[in-house]
Amino acid sequence: MEQGKYYKLITSDSRNNYFNFREVWQYKDMILLLVKRNFVSRYKQTILGPAWAVIQPLLTTIVFTFIFGNVAGLANCGTVPTFLFYMCGNIAWHFFSGCLSGTANTFVSNRGIMGKVYFPRISMPIATVLSNLIGFGIQSAMFLAFLVIYHFVPGYSIGTNWYVLMAPLLILEAAVLGLGCGIIISAMTTKYRDLQFLVSFGVSLWMYATPVAYSMDLFEGSAVLYIIARANPMSPIVEMLRYGFLGGEAGSVDWMSYGWSWIFTLVILTWGVSLFNKVERTFMDTV
């Protein structure tokens, strides 16, 4: 058979599970429409609409500020407003956990559509990450607005510095890490649904191993906790974001921990993609 433009060969051979970027690119319109669909349908028939994207992290931040900051006194951030300290960590974490738990049920929640039509399965989790990115964008705008407001409030000093430019790279890493973990879980949940329950529990557990509700220096008291916190790939992301936006009192820069987190992220992504590609061939038979 002559190999035309759309030539395709399907075999029982499962060794060719590489990531087919060209094919995903062909479906870019579908990914964008899925992003739009996710975003639009989420807020249809609500009065506040996309405002919910702002209200949720705002309320969490207020609660965190009150409980962890004022009552428990876990925010060791000196002259930086506690509210901003928590908002920065919360938004970053919210984005990461949204990517992870959103992609974790890719196969199970989309089996209706995936059982009827073919498209590169990986475009589903990619769309989930992108729609989370939109929400994150809105939340970041809110954060920046508060950042500017607090600059004019007397009594606080915010040390925004050039590390702010690291932010896009940090966000990319959070997205990739969330995607990687999410697709590993999604590939495994096709067989074991137990993981679904583990996801929400695991994510909140992970949050407490990350300096979201408290400063990194609180971990320094215990050697074991400090190692755990530094080994956690999300820690340098949150810490560096805080350092850049809020200054040295709120965050820290730990290059060793940061380098390790990238290695971890890339390994997770590679493993996730190859596992995902392996599972996507026959998951309809088991899901």
Partner 1 sequence: MAEDILRIDHISKEYRLGMIGGTTLRDELQRRRAKRKGLEDPTSKIGDKNVGRIGETFLALDDVSFTVKHGERIGIIGHNGAGKSTLLKLICRITAPTKGSIEMNGRIASMLEVGTGFHPELSGRENIYMNGAILGMTKAEIDKKIEEIIDFSECRQFIDTPVKRYSSGMYVKLAFSVAAHLDSEIMIMDEVLAVGDMAFQRKCIAKMSEISKAQGRTILYVSHNMGTIRQLCDRCIVLDHGHLIFDGDVDKAISLYLDTNIEEKTHYSFRDNTNSKDVVTGEVKVQELEILDKTTMFYFGSRMKVSLVVDVHKAVESLQFRFIFLTSGGMAVAATTTERVCLQAGKNQRLNFELDISHLAPACYYVKIIAAEIDDAGIQIRHDRVAQAFAFTIQNFDGLRPVKWDCTYWGNYAIDLTKTLGETAEIS
In the complex, the residues that contact partner 1 under the rule CB under 8 A are 1-4, 6-12, 14, 26-27, 29-30, 32-34, 37, 40-41, 44-45, 113-119, 191-194, 281-286
By beta-carbon proximity to partner 1, the closer residue of 11 and 221 is: 11
Please give the full DSSP string across 222-279, using - where no structure is assigned: SHHHHHHHHHSTHHHHHHHHHHHHH-TTT----HHHHHHHHHHHHHHHHHHHHHHHHH
Smallest separation, CB 53 to partner 1 (Å)? 17
By beta-carbon proximity to partner 1, the closer residue of 34 and 126 is: 34
By beta-carbon proximity to partner 1, the closer residue of 24 and 253 is: 24
Q: Could you say which DSSP state residue 208 is in?
A: H
Contact between residue 199 and residue 259 where contact means Cβ atoms under 8 Å apart: no
Smallest separation, CB 27 to partner 1 (Å)? 7
Smallest separation, CB 18 to partner 1 (Å)? 15
Contact between residue 27 and residue 119 where contact means Cβ atoms under 8 Å apart: yes
Smallest separation, CB 20 to partner 1 (Å)? 12
Handedness of CA 201, 203, 208, 214 (dihedral sign): negative
By beta-carbon proximity to partner 1, the closer residue of 36 and 60 is: 36
The residue type at 171: I
Terminal C-alpha separation, the chain: 34
| Phi and psi at residue 209, to the nearest 5° | -90, 0
Nearest to 136 by CA among 185, 102, 159, 110: 102
Contact between residue 135 and residue 49 where contact means Cβ atoms under 8 Å apart: no
Nearest to 228 by CA among 203, 250, 211: 211
Smallest separation, CB 283 to partner 1 (Å)? 8
By beta-carbon proximity to partner 1, the closer residue of 110 and 252 is: 110
Gap between the Cα atoms of 181 and 275, Å rounded = 11
By beta-carbon proximity to partner 1, the closer residue of 26 and 274 is: 26
Smallest separation, CB 199 to partner 1 (Å)? 15
Smallest separation, CB 91 to partner 1 (Å)? 27
By beta-carbon proximity to partner 1, the closer residue of 25 and 208 is: 25
CB neighbour burial string for 21-45, b if at least 16 within 10 angstroms, e if fewer:
eeebeebeebbeebbeebbeeeeee
Smallest separation, CB 163 to partner 1 (Å)? 39
By beta-carbon proximity to partner 1, the closer residue of 54 and 198 is: 198
